[in-house]
Amino acid sequence: MEWCEAKDHAGVRGEASRLLAAFIRHSRSPEVVNAVAKAAGVRHLISMATSEHVIMQNEALVALAIASAIDIDSMKDPFSDAELLPILKKMLEDPVGAVEVKFSALGLICSLANSSVMKEELNSVNMKESLSKLTDHSSSKLASQASSILAILGDTS
């Protein structure tokens, strides 16, 4: 975590965040997810998700999706503290955002939509509006995923 905050060297900071994402992606372990959340690592992953590099954005979004699927309880507070949902909404609405980043963001949103607590928060930031705009996207894969998540969010059970 200290390396994620290295002020003197941006390369170390970036690679430390990538390593954190890799721990989650490759271990898929509740213990690792919980440790990252307890050590305040989630904010570093969210910061990485907003980097200018598409590869880093995707790595972070995939790690966050896996972490939320494994242990949403330890992730929901750090997500709220870092204001993740408005960030995801902005990513979806970015007219020049890469399709693959939007698709990874949709993967995370889908994971969140399957949690009752996060489903309410997704609805409170009006994520449905952003998803609706994607249902006629030129990428049929992206449009289909957005439609699927809209169906999950519309389901009140």
Q: Tell me what pLDDT residue 3 has.
A: 66
Calculate Rg over the CA atoms of the chain.
15
- Residue 157 has a pLDDT of 43
pLDDT at 14: 76
Q: How many domains does the chain have?
A: 1
Q: Is residue 2 part of a domain?
A: no
155 phi-psi bin (left φ>0, alpha ψ -120 to 50, beta other): beta
Residue 128 clears pLDDT 80, i.e. is over it = yes
- The token duo for 129 is 């509006």
- Mean of per-residue pLDDT scores for the chain: 91
Distance CA 152, CA 157 (A): 10
Judge whether 5 lies within some domain.
Answer: no
Q: Is residue 1 part of a domain?
A: no
Q: Cβ distance 49 to 87 under 8 Å?
A: yes
Does the residue 18 lie in any domain?
yes
Full domain range(s) for residue 27: 10-155
CATH number, domain of 48, equals 1.25.10.10
